[in-house]
Amino acid sequence: MDARDKKAAPGGPFLAPANTVVSNERRLPDGRIVYDPRGTVTAEPREPAARLESLDGLRLGVLDNTKWNASKLLRRVVAGLETGLTFAEVNFYDKESFSRPGAVGLLDRIAAENDAVITAIGD
């Protein structure tokens, strides 16, 4: 594979920096280009957040990725949690599309406004 068979990924949240080379594209011997639909994900390793001793009295964030059943699933999870816990507040957030990263600043806003966050796929 030579440089023509690679392309730079666009920059943006949760995407490879502009100077990163990804190989989602392959050139067949007859010249046709085939794209690998799986994409490429690059991320810095991070330690998981410390486990909370209790959710009782905390601010709970709920991130809906807008898949068809995500909202229904998340609301049922919250209702189940509320049978045994009391939250200071429950804040709901929506991504614009399940197939794209959240809006710029959304994750920072969620982190600033909540003590714990849940999300789900909901297919």
The DSSP code sequence of 54-109 is --TT-EEEEEE---TTHHHHHHHHHHHHHTT---SEEEEEE-S-TTSPPPTTHHHH
Number of folded domains that form the chain: 2
Supply the pLDDT for residue 23: 60
Whether 41 maps to a domain, the answer reads no
Cα separation, 16 vs 112, in Å, equals 25
75 and 114, same domain (yes or no): yes
Residue 26, SS3 per DSSP: strand
65 and 26, same domain (yes or no): no
The domain containing residue 28 runs over which residues? 3-35
Cα separation, 80 vs 99, in Å, equals 28
68 and 29, same domain (yes or no): no
Whether 52 maps to a domain, the answer reads no
pLDDT tens digit at each of 123 positions of the chain: 444 434 444 444 444 445 444 567 788 899 898 887 776 777 888 898 899 999 999 999 999 999 989 999 999 999 999 999 999 999 999 998 888 888 889 999 999 999 999 998 877
25 and 71, same domain (yes or no): no
Whether 51 maps to a domain, the answer reads no
Whether 106 maps to a domain, the answer reads yes
115 and 80, same domain (yes or no): yes
Supply the pLDDT for residue 99: 86
Supply the pLDDT for residue 29: 93
Q: Are 93 and 108 in contact (CB under 8 A)?
A: no
Supply the pLDDT for residue 41: 72
71 and 109, same domain (yes or no): yes
Whether 69 maps to a domain, the answer reads yes
